[in-house]
Amino acid sequence: MTVFSFFKINFFLLAIISISFLLPIAVALYYGEFEVIHAFALPGVFCVIVAFILALVGKKKKISMIPKDSYIVVAAAWGFASFLGASPFLISGTIDNLADAFFESVSGFTTTGATIFSDVESLPHAINFWRCQMHWLGGMGIVALTVALMPLLGVGGFQLIKAETTGPEKGKVTPKIATTAKILWFIYLALTVIQIILLKIAGMSWFDAICHSFSTLGTGGFSTKNTSITFYNSPAIEWIITIFMILAGVNFSLYYFLVRGKLGEIIHNSEIKAYIGIILVTGIGITFFISDLYPTLSDAFRIAMFQVATIISTTGFASADFALWSSSATIFILLLMFIGGCSGSTAGGIKVIRWVVLSKQTENEVKKLLHPHGIFTIQLNGRVGRKDVVFSVAAFVFFYFFLTMITTAVATLSGIDLISSFTAALAMIGNIGPGLGAVGPVENFGFFESGIKWWFSFIMLAGRLELYTMFIFFMPSFWKK
């Protein structure tokens, strides 16, 4: 791939994001926030013009990529997108330094939901809208959106999707990857519209309904209210968001199979069964330990299910400060931070399928002790799984925990306690948002030093791109011809 092709692809992506600036600009016009319009218009117009020029100059040049190129393009795309996303904060004066603006932007696009703001209600509506819109764009994948809208990338489209998609195995639900991307984005949009309507019926304003739907389906967690979902004091709103957080944590390919009537693909899916089981077991477990804190058992169950959904889907909304619960209840929250949602979903974390693979392999290892000459394989989705998947999963989990330890050490440099540092690391690499202690659900990340925020930003990007896409550049073998 040539340098020209590299910039052509990335500026096409930036142009798509720039066009999406029209939405917060419309919000600014509606609320009379004319002073922030230029914060979106200036960087947006610049990117569109550059993309247009590159398209004209190279319209006859075909783009071809090898697998190595796809990692460079995807890593650069998310980096460039994050800088572009930070520009409205800086130009509007909402944030006065690059480290904070980049952190907020990365947290938005990677759907982490960790914020440096202590008072989001004082922000202009357009800025709050953009924060939530970044979740929505980053949730399904900004590169996937590019592939869906740009047939020019058809040659290397699958490689790009593989470098961005979550989970140990990458696949296509249709023969053409661009068609797959379009279908998944259509399903994503449909679920978003349905949630917006339901939240409006439940009592939210149109603005809040749109923002919170963007954050929910993107599993991000940014809110327009300082106290997040607690502000509304509405069981109906909490249940709607709980259900859609769970739905957002499901592999979106299963929705395609559902629409096509391929129920067998869903029924036999190992990951979805484990995902639902984990949610029910932890929800009931937490309900038992917090039942004495709430007026009725149904209230305790609602609160428990919301917290389970927000953590396992790595969304990060808050309807209660779980940091104040007993250790018996909080341990469930901590364990969920290690799990994450399903592969192919908008959720972060290690992913349920990897734990399914490791648990099945552990079972096989025990069987080998009893039957040394036996041959055992893992069963996934009703079929025999490949052995190399086990090796891949084991390596990923090791690397995940290694980076968690490194990031914990970095967080301790701020002077906070070990539990706060450890859960902050889990929140960053798993794109979860809140942790415990100093980074709990009612706190923010604004107090960290700039250097630590830059590291956090890098780790959030690495976590969103399944680690290897960002760290592969540090391998000497990557740069060898």
Buried b (16+ CB within 10 A) or exposed e, 285-309: bbbebbbeebeeeeebbbbbbbbbb
Gap between the Cα atoms of 450 and 100, Å rounded: 7
Question: According to the annotation, is 349 in a ligand binding site?
Answer: no
Question: According to the annotation, is 230 in a ligand binding site?
Answer: no
DSSP 230-253: GGG--HHHHHHHHHHHHHHTS-HH
Residue with structure tokens 């929800």? 283
Question: According to the annotation, is 141 in a ligand binding site?
Answer: no
| Alpha-carbon distances, residue 357 vs 267, 334, 370 (angstroms) | 18, 21, 20
Phi, psi of 455 (to 5 degrees): -65, -45
| Alpha-carbon distances, residue 358 vs 167, 168, 390, 395 (angstroms) | 14, 12, 7, 11
Residue 234: name the closest of 200, 197, 282, 283 by CA.
200
Question: According to the annotation, is 111 in a ligand binding site?
Answer: yes
SS3 content of the chain, % helix, strand, coil (to 5): 70, 0, 30
By CB atoms closer than 10 A (0-12, 13-18, 19+), residue 371 is exposed
Tell me, rounded to whole angstroms, the distance of Cα 179 from its chain centroid. 22
CB atoms within 10 A of CB 367: 12
Question: According to the annotation, is 423 in a ligand binding site?
Answer: no
Residue 213 near residue 195 (C-beta atoms within 8 A): yes
| Alpha-carbon distances, residue 426 vs 270, 322, 383, 433, 465 (angstroms) | 25, 16, 32, 9, 15
Question: According to the annotation, is 220 in a ligand binding site?
Answer: yes
Residue 439 near residue 445 (C-beta atoms within 8 A): yes
Which residues contribute to the annotated binding site?
111-112, 220, 314-315, 431
Which residues contribute to the annotated binding site for K(+)?
111-112, 220, 314-315, 431
